[in-house]
Amino acid sequence: MTVFEQAPAPPASARRRVTRSRGMSLWEAVMVALHGLVANKMRSFLTMLGIIIGVASVILTIGLGQGAAAASQAIIANMGTNVLSVRPDSQRAGGISGGLGSAQTLTEEDGDAILKECPSVKAVAPEYQSRARAKYLNHNTSTNIMGTVPEHLDVRNLKLASGRFFTHSDVVRRAKVCVIGDEVKNTLFGDNAEPIGKFIKIRGQNFEVLGVMAYKGSAGWSNPDDQIWVPIDTAMKRLFGVKYIGGIGVQAASEDVMDKATEEINQVVSKRHHIAPGDPPDIRIFNQADLAETAQQQSDMMTMLLTGIALVSLLVGGIGIMNIMLVSVTERTREIGIRKAIGARWRDIMNQFLIESVTMSLVGGLIGISLGVGGSWLMRTYVGWATLITPTPIVMAFASAMVVGVFFGIYPAMKAAKLDPIEALRYE
C-alpha cells in the first residue's frame, strides 16, 4: 500500500467500542464520585451536613406528628363512640370573639334538664376545669382540676386503678375529697407510696385522696393522667368561686341516636336560655367524630409547619452542594480539558458532575434516614414521646434529597461541560 492509498475504515463494531470508550459508564461515574467523597472526607461531610440534618428532621417531625395524631385518635376512641361534648359558644366584646367556651351560659341545671327532657340521652356529667397548684409535703405540681359528678366515669369511659370515686353526697355537701391521675400520683407520692387516705393541698386547702385513676395516656393536646377530679360544687364554690360550668359531657343512648340527641339538646338549652326560634343556639355540641377530625387537623397543621422548617435545611444543604461543586469545577479545570481533548463529549462531562452531585445528596440522604429513624426510636423508647414512622416520610425525604442533588448540581455541571478544552488545558 502506497502513502497515497487510503487505509481501510475500521469495522462498525470497532467504531462503537471507540465511541463507548470515550464516555464513562454510570457505574464508573458513581465510583469516581464516591472516590472523591472519600478523598475529601471532612469537606464532603460538611457539604452533606445540610442534607443529613434536613432529611433527619423531616423524618423526625413527620414521625412525631403522626404519632401524636395516632395517640389523639386512641384517646378519643377510648372516650367512647356515643359521647357528646356540650360547650358554650364564643362571646363577642367590641366585635372581637373571645373564642369557643368564652360565653358564660351553661349551668348545672342545664345538665339536669338535658337528662330529664332528652329521650336519646342516657347520662350527663357537668364539668368545670381550671389549672391550680397541688402539693403534698415538699412535692408540688401545677395540674388540671376537673370538677364533675360521679357519672363522669361512665360518660368519659374512665377506670379507677385503686380506691373509689366521690359520691353524690360528696357533691351536695361540697366535700374536700379528690381522685388523682396516674401522673399526679407519681409526682406527688412517687412510685411506691400509697396516696389513698392522705391529704394533699389544692390552692392551699386540704383534700383527702379517695382514689387513683388508671393510666390513660396523653394525646398531646390533653393528658387525663395529669389531672385531679373533685366534686363539681367543691370546685366551683370552694376552689374557684364561679357560677357557670365549662361544659357538659353527654352519653347518648346509642351511637345510632347521636344526631337525634344533638337536636334534642339544642332545643332544650335554647328554650332554657331564651333563644328565639330560628336564632342559632349559644352552645356548640361536638361528637367524637368532630373531636377526632379537629385533633387530626391540628396535628396535620403542626406537622406541615415543622416539615416546612425541616425542608429549609434541605435547601441550605443544596446550596452547600452547589457551592462545593463549583469549587470542584475550578479545581478540575485542567482535567476537564484533557478529557475533552481525548474525545469526551459535552454530555459526558455534564453527567459526571451531575452524578457526583446526586451521589453526594443520596449518601447524605441515607445517613439522614438512619439518624431520623434511630432518633425516632430513641424518643419513643427512652423519652416516651409518641412517634410513628411509616414508609411515606422515608420515601419523601429520600426523594427530596435526590431532587436537591439534581437541582443544585445542574448549574455546576453545565458550567463544567461548557468549558473550552483549549482554555482548560492552559489553566494552571
Q: Is a pLDDT exceeding 60 seen at residue 391?
A: yes
Position 98 scores a pLDDT of 46
Annotated domain spans of the chain: 12-72+296-426, 104-281
Position 422 scores a pLDDT of 66
Position 200 scores a pLDDT of 96
Q: Is a pLDDT exceeding 60 seen at residue 405?
A: yes
Q: What is the pTM of this model?
A: 0.55
Higher confidence at residue 305 or residue 143? 143
**What mean pLDDT do residues 113-117 have?**
95
Position 203 scores a pLDDT of 94
Q: Is a pLDDT exceeding 80 seen at residue 24?
A: no
Position 423 scores a pLDDT of 67
Work out the mean pLDDT of the chain and round it to a whole number: 81
The answer for residues whose C-beta is within 8 angstroms of residue 259's C-beta and 6 or more apart is none
Position 421 scores a pLDDT of 67
Higher confidence at residue 160 or residue 38? 160
Higher confidence at residue 112 or residue 286? 112
DSSP letter (8 states) at residue 380: I
**What mean pLDDT do residues 155-180 have?**
94
**What mean pLDDT do residues 10-24 have?**
42
Residue 421 grid cell: 478544552
Position 318 scores a pLDDT of 80
**What mean pLDDT do residues 402-411 have?**
81
Position 108 scores a pLDDT of 93
pLDDT in tens, 173-221: 999 999 999 999 999 998 778 899 999 999 999 999 999 999 877 654 5
Q: Is a pLDDT exceeding 90 seen at residue 100?
A: no
DSSP assignment of 239-289, as one string? IS--SS-SEEEEEES-GGGHHHHHHHHHHHHHHHTTPPTTSPPSEEEEEHH
pLDDT in tens, 249-260: 999 888 788 889
Place 291 in a pLDDT band, splitting at 50, 70 and 90: low
Q: How far apart are CA 415 and CA 428, in angstroms?
A: 18
Question: In 132-257, which ranges are continuous DSSP H helix?
Answer: 152-155, 168-172, 182-189, 232-233
DSSP letter (8 states) at residue 106: -
Position 116 scores a pLDDT of 95
Interhelix angle 26-39/346-378, rounded to 10 degrees, is 60
The answer for residues whose C-beta is within 8 angstroms of residue 32's C-beta and 6 or more apart is 24, 352, 356
Backbone angles phi, psi at 240, to 5 degrees: -115, -15
Higher confidence at residue 333 or residue 109? 109
- CB contact at 8 A, 360 and 48: yes
DSSP letter (8 states) at residue 317: H
Place 425 in a pLDDT band, splitting at 50, 70 and 90: low
Backbone angles phi, psi at 24, to 5 degrees: -135, 135
pLDDT in tens, 292-347: 667 677 777 877 777 777 777 777 778 888 887 787 777 777 777 777 777 777 77
pLDDT in tens, 274-285: 888 888 888 888
